[in-house]
Amino acid sequence: MSQNERLAELSKQGVAVWLDDLSRERLTSGNLADLVTTKSVVGVTTNPTIFATAISALDSYNEQLTDLRLRGVEVEEAVRMLTSADVRWACDVLAGVAANTGRDGRVSIEVDPRLAHDSGKTIAEARQLWWLVDRPNLFIKIPATEAGLPAITKCIADGISVNVTLIFSIECYRAVMEAYLFGLEQRAAAGGSFDGLESVASFFVSRVDTEIDKRLGGGKAVNGLLGRAGIANAQLAYQAYEEVIASDRWRTLAGKGAHVQRPLWASTGVKNPDYDDTMYIAELVAPDTVNTMPEKTMDAYADHGELGPPAQQQYDTAAATMKAIEAAGVDMTDVFLTLEREGVEKFEKSWEELLETVRGQLVAAA
């Protein structure tokens, strides 16, 4: 089987292949457009770390940085200008995919993560980015914090497509789905259209294994559990998704033209080199899902990945795995709280690094 055939087969199973990376070099060189045809890529996700790496390492931004410097643009606004330009360009590259599929061809841009615990400011930032990029195939990334949930509802009610990020637990995921449904209901009540309104819920995978493996430790008693929590947790998330879309509440919304909020598997690059480098793709195959992959992980799957059993066939095994992990002494509630807290902190740190990168580049542009 060729590289493209493996990824194309994944797409046929209902898994949308998205790239977890973006840079101006990918855009100017035509690389992103090539990935659409050669690797079945139909979407893109970004984050501050991705942009900081791109802006610090490439000359492609020099002209815009010089213009921003000459105009006296402050660093935070310069970040918005630089990142939104890339995302707008990527949206244009994927516009054909969006037109053909009606749901993919999406590119995500993240609200300032320092606003993760402020609903009002998150909503204001989401509106600004939606207006600034001004493309119908855009996703605004909002974290699934307590303050993020009402922001998700409000944005959906206002017709802003949302990528909900930093989901780790089933409990949090159910709250995210509730926020989405409530937003749809508000929009319907106000007579708003569902045309073009989409959402994904980004369920993080490898970070769950990293945290739980650390707590399990070593020894024969837990060897069968190491590296199994992330996949099991995500499989149970898909079970929760199926329960929601089977509900009368969802059927009512679907009858009015609403679109499902697809589960998106994020953090799919394997952190432990002892693990199969394609496992977070091969074992999370299910209809109406998205898998956003670092290019290294995408290439690994294209080279030697093999489809695993459908996620829907693994619910009992997944539940038994999570129960066994708890029986081994792992406090799952604390695990998920820790992961959410650290996730926000990491995003905030990345944002500060992005600001520092752009600040330095603006000085250099002088």
Catalytic residues: 141
- Residues 6 or more apart whose Cβ sits within 8 Å of residue 142: 111, 122, 126, 148, 151, 152, 155, 162, 163, 164, 165
**What CA–CA distance (Å, rounded) separates 265 from 16?**
10
CA dihedral 232, 234, 238, 240 (to 10 degrees): 80
Q: What would the two tokens of residue 99 be?
A: 């037109």
Q: Whose CA is closest to 49, among 91, 21, 29?
A: 21
Q: How far apart are CA 158 and CA 289, in angstroms?
A: 24
* Alpha helix ranges (H) inside the chain: 3-12, 24-28, 31-38, 48-57, 62-70, 75-93, 95-101, 119-133, 148-157, 170-189, 206-216, 229-245, 248-255, 279-282, 295-304, 315-327, 332-365
* CA–CA gap between residue 45 and residue 201 (Å, rounded): 12
Specify the DSSP element, H or E, that contains 94.
none
